[in-house]
Amino acid sequence: MLLIGATGGVAYMLLSAHSTNRDLADVQITEVKRSEQPFLSQSDLEKIDDRFLFRAVAEEVVHSVVYIEVISESSDQDDSSIWTRILPYHEQSLGSGVIISEDGYILTNQHVIENALDDGISVTLHNRKTYRAVVIGTDPSTDIAIIKIDAADLQPVTMGNSDQLHVGDWVMAIGNPFRLRSTVTAGIVSALSRDVQVIDHPYRIESFIQTDAAINRGNSGGALVNTSGELIGINTAIAAERGNYQGYGFAVPSNLALKVARDLMEFGTVQRGLLGVTIQSVDSRLAEREGLSRVSGVLITNVARKSAAEEGGVKESDIILKVNQKRVHQTNDLQVEVALYRPGEELTLTLWRDGGEVEKSVRLKEFNSDELQQDSTSDP
């Protein structure tokens, strides 16, 4: 009886399945077409929005950005210990750099290669070739350095004009955060001419480009480029409580970085002109008192004797409005404008004096820190 019941159950299941299959819709074989060309081409998209340029820019610029590893003596070791004298502790750090010439000159931050041991700087290109680098020169006041590798036919970056940047412009940061090589992030220019006091130098020059493109440890010395693929900044610092990205990154403007780079490549040191004044930014109360139409400019509170400013006819209580027809809004604007020129070069200053504008020509003198007043607002 059990055998008969089991046989009947199997037969019922087979008949039920056969009946269900007859109720299904007939399916015919068809072809799924795949388009090899998008509805809108890349060039069409690039015309619609600058953001669609990112792919082309990234493909071009990553070849100009390098990965830097540095071996330096540990800053925490006990120099009095006999063991550390025999076997000193070494630290390894990393950063980024930007190729600026076909024959191997690389622009980076001074703090990236600071305290490097002899033969302790290693540079890896995008094609994974590795070279030893030598230091050509450094400038702690701008946190810029030049190193060089023995290579040829490299792909240098195209230098841009950072003076043409505007808040809201699209930018891309390219570097090596957390050893993640050739990382590309995008954002906008969040602000210009930022003085955030991150450079540890008595005569620091800070007029950073602020961006919300993600910048983290390892991005230092890397490229900040515009949508034309031009270098408009050297990524230098982040503003974060824990040392990681929180929406604020800062880059040295390319015009200042290039001037420093040229000096280091030609002379080994920075050729910086001295104006010889003590300054402070104009506030709303001062602007109203002096009859200025806007809160802008830099007040001269002291003129050094025999300085370029004194010999050029600049006086105490003058307000500098422009340098070579470029408006300066605050003290760091003036510092950067002066830093772009070498000793012996001439500047035209537009001054506000006695309720009107006057122009004075000033020939810069050579920078000498011993001659400067010990004042954080002194303009080198």
Catalytic residue numbers, as ranges: 111, 143, 220
Strand ranges (DSSP E) for 60-211?
65-73, 90-99, 105-109, 116-124, 130-139, 144-149, 158-159, 170-175, 183-194, 208-211
Query: Taking every pair of C-alpha atoms in the chain, what is the biggest distance, in angstroms?
Result: 124
Place of tokens 């071009």: 60
Report the SS3 class of residue 142: coil
Cβ contact 278:377 at 8 Å: yes
Strand partners, 156: none
Alpha helices in the chain (DSSP H): 2-23, 42-48, 54-61, 82-86, 110-113, 254-267, 284-290, 308-311, 331-339
Task: Please give the Cα distance from 137 to 149 (Å, whole number).
Answer: 13
Cβ contact 138:116 at 8 Å: no
Q: At what angle do helices 254-267 and 331-339 cross, to 10 degrees?
A: 40
| 248: phi then psi, degrees, rounded to nearest 5 | -130, 120
Tokens of 160: 């841009």
Radius of gyration, alpha carbons of the chain: 31
Task: Please give the Cα distance from 195 to 108 (Å, whole number).
Answer: 20
Residues in CB range of 48: below 8 A, 6 or more apart: 40
Residues in CB range of 6: below 8 A, 6 or more apart: none
Report the SS3 class of residue 325: coil
Report the SS3 class of residue 172: strand
Strand 158-159 versus strand 230-238 pairing type: parallel
